[in-house]
Amino acid sequence: MWRSAAALRALRGGGPGAPRAASGAAAAQLRQRLENELEDIRGAGTWKSERVIASRQGPWIVNFCANNYLGLSSHPEVIRAAVEALEKFGAGLSSVRFICGTQSIHKDLEEKIARFHQREDAILYASCFDANAGIFEALLTPEDAVLSDELNHASIIDGIRLCKANKYRYKHMDMRDLEAKLQEAQKHRLRLVATDGAFSMDGDIAPLREICRLAQKYDALVFIDECHATGFLGPNGRGTDELLGVMDKVTIINSTLGKALGGAAGGYTTGPKPLIDLLRQRSRPYLFSNSLPPAVVGCASKALDLLMESNAIARSMAAKTQRFRSKMTAAGFTISGKDHPICPVMLGDARLASVMAEDMLNRGIYVIGFSYPVVPKGKARIRVQISAVHSDEDIDRCVDAFTEVGRKHGALP
């Protein structure tokens, strides 16, 4: 089921295809510097190893660390739609969209995404990382300003780095600080407040009502990244803006097809038509990267159909989230966030998070410890993510394993 990195190295073996080390003083110096840095990471207990899965997920392991919130990545209709799209439209386009990479299914999916979010238009990207990399540079100039939550996802931070607008960083979900920064930013032509809708490390939800109120007061636009909200937050799964009743106040949404919406890959921007038209002309990850493969388009399109038909899957996930959060809290754990399927079990110490996660796997529960630099120092945690595919028994098994492992390692009395 799992393959260790050592086993994979052994499989690759030596021989004529074996790697060659570059020679020369500069290469040797670089190698030494990198090895020292890697040793520091190991020494700090923050090493992140990749666990290689060599089979399908099976009943012997229950996966609690995927962003597969609605279980759609293994839904038979989603898989069938991918196969049909692959057979009808081929493996890929070998092209970016504006050369010869646009098929009818791309246009259909863009129209469906805009309808789902009740926006004017949408544009697809290879990932939401790309959507975030493309939007700020295309939209904002040195005359403008962007105000960003300090804990925004790395891709928003990188996207903002690429643009020439004036940059303001406000304290995490701190509306007094945002207001102060908005006042400072009044001198610029346009202000854009950028925030994750739901923050993936803490499972907390941006105070969008207050953000939109401030945006209105200071004549600013609101951008949200809905990667951890699309498909399941709000009465119809439209996201944080629906949950908090501000669908008509948020101007731009970026989100992913790689989490709740089928879990394959892909991202998008949805919003006003002229903005989407401009992105098709100017957004670099859109202009200079291949169009989405048909199978991926097929998955996402079917996932959206299922969600627009019924919100039963999202409701089932919400009930399981509630079950997990209340049982873990009763067992004595601190779970960050509220009502979100991201349930970070707060442990503090990086090593404790790592050994507990390993022990959980020995009990058939797949979870991952997160430590610096992914989360702040001293705030290590095991991030549990609930999915509609978990049964109540899976949830209870996970809570029991946490209780046992927590007692063993001193995280619980």
Identify the H or E element spanning 245.
none
127 touches ligand PLP (CB under 6 A): yes
Q: Which of 75, 153, 181, 228 is catalytic?
A: 228
Contacting residue, 65, 124, 140, 227, with ligand PLP by CB under 6 A: 227
Q: Which is nearer to ligand PLP, 218 or 372 (CB)?
A: 372
Q: Name beta bridge partners: 223.
A: 194, 252
Contacting residue, 129, 168, 232, 268, with ligand PLP by CB under 6 A: 129
Nearest to 240 by CA among 173, 186, 291: 173
Q: Which is nearer to ligand PLP, 300 or 395 (CB)?
A: 300
Contacting residue, 256, 291, 371, 387, with ligand PLP by CB under 6 A: 256
258 touches ligand PLP (CB under 6 A): yes
Does the active-site annotation cover 153? Answer: no
Q: Which is nearer to ligand PLP, 134 or 294 (CB)?
A: 134
Q: How far is the CB of 267 from ligand PLP (least distance, A)?
A: 4
- Residues ≥6 apart with Cβ < 8 Å to 142: 164, 165, 166
Name the one residue in this structure whose structure tokens are 């939550």. 149
200 touches ligand PLP (CB under 6 A): yes
- Residues 271 and 249: their CA atoms lie apart, in Å, by 11
Helices and strands counted in the chain (H then E)? 16, 16
Residue 258, burial from CB neighbour count under 10 angstroms (0-12, 13-18, 19+): buried
Q: Name beta bridge partners: 380.
A: 348
Number of residues that bind ligand PLP (CB under 6 A): 14
Q: Which of 73, 127, 200, 387 is catalytic?
A: 200
- Angle at alpha carbon of residue 249, lines to 248 and 250, rounded to 5°: 100
- Residues 148 and 163: their CA atoms lie apart, in Å, by 13
- Residue nearest ligand PLP, CB atom distance: 127
Cβ atoms of 141 and 165 within 8 Å: the answer is: yes
Instruction: Give the CA distances from residue 141 to residues 60, 65, 213, 225, in Å, rounded to whole numbers and listed in that order.
Output: 53, 39, 24, 21
- Residues 302 and 297: their CA atoms lie apart, in Å, by 9
| Segment lying near ligand PLP (by CB under 6 A), choices 76-84, 225-233, 323-331, 368-376 | 225-233
Does the active-site annotation cover 172? Answer: no
Q: How far is the CB of 329 from ligand PLP (least distance, A)?
A: 25
DSSP string, 320-344: HHHHHHHHHHHHT--B-SSS-SEEE
Q: Contacts from 370-374 at CB under 8 Å and sequence distance 24+?
A: 370/201, 370/344, 371/45, 371/46, 372/44, 372/46, 373/46, 374/48, 374/201
Does the active-site annotation cover 200? Answer: yes
Q: Which two tokens stand for residue 288?
A: 């200079």
Q: How far is the CB of 285 from ligand PLP (least distance, A)?
A: 10
Q: Which of 75, 188, 259, 390 is catalytic?
A: 259
Q: Which is nearer to ligand PLP, 199 or 333 (CB)?
A: 199
| Segment lying near ligand PLP (by CB under 6 A), choices 99-107, 125-133, 187-195, 279-287 | 125-133
Q: How far is the CB of 407 from ligand PLP (least distance, A)?
A: 32
Q: Which is nearer to ligand PLP, 226 or 349 (CB)?
A: 226
Q: Which is nearer to ligand PLP, 146 or 352 (CB)?
A: 146
Q: Which is nearer to ligand PLP, 258 or 369 (CB)?
A: 258
Contacting residue, 106, 117, 153, 390, with ligand PLP by CB under 6 A: 153
How many angstroms separate the first and last alpha carbons of the chain? 34
155 touches ligand PLP (CB under 6 A): yes
225 touches ligand PLP (CB under 6 A): yes
Q: Indicate which residues carry an active-site annotation.
A: 200, 228, 259
Interface residues with ligand PLP (CB under 6 A) are 127-129, 132, 153, 155, 196, 200, 225, 227-228, 256, 258, 267
